[in-house]
């Protein structure tokens, strides 16, 4: 049983507001073939939550109605949702950039043998978790055998052209620190990854995205159990850089949970902090159907708590990697 997390302060983080909506990040399901220590959604093989056909139909309408440029699919393992491919094809027909946040090991799971070929045919951008180029470190964070399966998944993607210059098939890797520390400078670590993966395995990729671990859910509870929670929160506050505020992902992205409810980010979704929508009357949570009724989210207040310091600490952090070059 994981320990209870302390309440996160609602007052100390600066007030921020939305800019233009550019992307929808869809949490299709919490079902996953892995159970990683750093996972902020507590995904795993026993989770049952998955977006319904009704919510998916609304999502299609929102894509058609708004000037959304990017559909960012996450989970769990988003590919395990039975309508994953239908959603991808609809978004691509509408001209959207589609990102699949892939754990790599799903590519070798029974029933997913043709998944990589599907992603390539649809020109889906693959953003894949690989928290280290070392087998020992990856397996420690994500489970025994995950590193070898991840390397095989990367080789499979490379054979299809992913990460190969001129192919147009984008393959990005994601780094999360193993413990209560900030990621190293992204550019420096990317260079190290490229050298090690090319020399040791012949693997190529486009970019490395460094993401700061959020002090919530499974990782936050682990910090509490180790007596590191307060120290980590202090590190995040002490590393705050106000210049990161303008580039925060929550200013241009809406996070959608498996039930179709809206949040300012995936982390707020896990903390059950719904997006503020002044047009709401008689309801406390905004839903996909509300995006069909409003023309713009510009200037809407963003719900913040102390966990937001994780996105503004040091070089900054978002699902697209560091906010600042160092």
DSSP for 46-67, written as a single string: T---B--HHHHHHHHHHHHHS-
Query: To 10 degrees, the CA torsion angle through 246, 186, 172, 105?
Result: -120
Cα 84 from chain centre: 16
Q: What is the pLDDT of residue 36?
A: 62
- pLDDT of 325 strictly over 80: no
- Cβ(24)–Cβ(256) below 8 Å: yes
Q: What is the pLDDT of residue 281?
A: 59
Least confident of 34-38, 97-101, 257-261: 34-38
DSSP state of 314: T
Rg (CA), the chain: 19
| pLDDT over 70 percentage in the chain | 91
DSSP state of 37: T
Which of 226, 320, 216 is CA-nearest to residue 267?
Answer: 216
User: 265 pLDDT band (50/70/90 cuts)?
Assistant: very high
Which of 245, 288, 209, 324 is CA-nearest to residue 51?
Answer: 288
- Structural domains in the chain plus CATH codes: 23-312 (3.20.20)
Question: What pTM was estimated for this model as a whole?
Answer: 0.91
User: 41 pLDDT band (50/70/90 cuts)?
Assistant: low
The mean pLDDT of 314-322, rounded to a whole number, is 92
181 vs 32: CA distance, rounded Å: 26
Neighbour order of strands in the sheet with 253-256? 207-210, 171-175, 125-129, 97-102, 70-74, 23-27, 253-256, 262-263
Q: What is the pLDDT of residue 78?
A: 95
Which of 8, 3, 39, 1 is CA-nearest to residue 232?
Answer: 8
- pLDDT of 219 strictly over 90: no
Mean pLDDT of the chain: 89
User: 37 pLDDT band (50/70/90 cuts)?
Assistant: low
Query: To 10 degrees, the CA torsion angle through 315, 318, 321, 326?
Result: -10
- pLDDT of 256 strictly over 70: yes
The mean pLDDT of 77-104, rounded to a whole number, is 95
pLDDT tens-digit map of 151-205: 999 999 999 999 999 999 999 999 988 889 999 999 999 999 999 999 999 999 9
> Would strands 171-175 and 207-210 be described as parallel, antiparallel, or unpaired?
parallel
């Amino acid at each position: 049983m994981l320990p209870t997390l302390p309440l996160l302060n609602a007052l100390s983080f600066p007030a921020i507001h939305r800019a233009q909506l550019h992307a929808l990040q869809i949490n299709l399901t919490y079902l996953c073939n892995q159970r990683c220590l750093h996972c902020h959604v507590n995904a795993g093989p026993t989770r049952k939550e998955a977006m319904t056909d009704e919510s998916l139909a609304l999502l299609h309408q929102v894509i058609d109605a708004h000037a959304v440029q990017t559909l960012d699919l996450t989970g769990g393992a988003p590919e395990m949702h039975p309508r994953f491919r239908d959603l991808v094809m609809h978004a691509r027909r509408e001209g959207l950039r589609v990102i699949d946040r892939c754990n790599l090991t799903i590519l070798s799971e029974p029933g997913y043998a043709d998944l990589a070929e599907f992603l390539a045919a649809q020109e889906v951008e693959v953003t894949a978790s690989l928290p280290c180029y070392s087998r020992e470190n990856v397996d420690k964070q994500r489970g025994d055998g995950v590193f070898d399966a991840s390397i095989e998944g990367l080789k499979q993607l490379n054979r299809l052209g992913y990460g190969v210059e001129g192919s147009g098939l984008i393959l990005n890797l994601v780094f999360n620190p193993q413990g209560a520390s900030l990621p190293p400078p992204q550019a420096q670590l990317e260079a190290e990854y490229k050298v090690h993966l090319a020399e040791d395995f012949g693997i190529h990729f486009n970019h490395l995205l460094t993401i700061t671990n959020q002090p919530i859910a499974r990782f936050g509870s682990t910090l509490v159990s180790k007596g590191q929670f307060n120290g980590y929160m202090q590190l995040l506050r002490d590393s705050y850089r106000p210049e990161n505020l303008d580039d925060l992902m929550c200013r241009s992205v809406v996070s959608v949970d498996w039930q179709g409810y809206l949040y300012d980010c995936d982390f707020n979704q896990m903390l059950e902090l719904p997006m503020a929508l002044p047009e709401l009357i008689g309801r406390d949570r905004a839903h996909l159907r509300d995006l069909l009724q409003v023309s713009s989210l510009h200037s809407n207040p963003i719900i913040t708590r102390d966990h937001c310091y994780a996105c503004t600490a040091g070089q900054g952090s978002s699902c697209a990697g560091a906010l600042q070059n160092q």
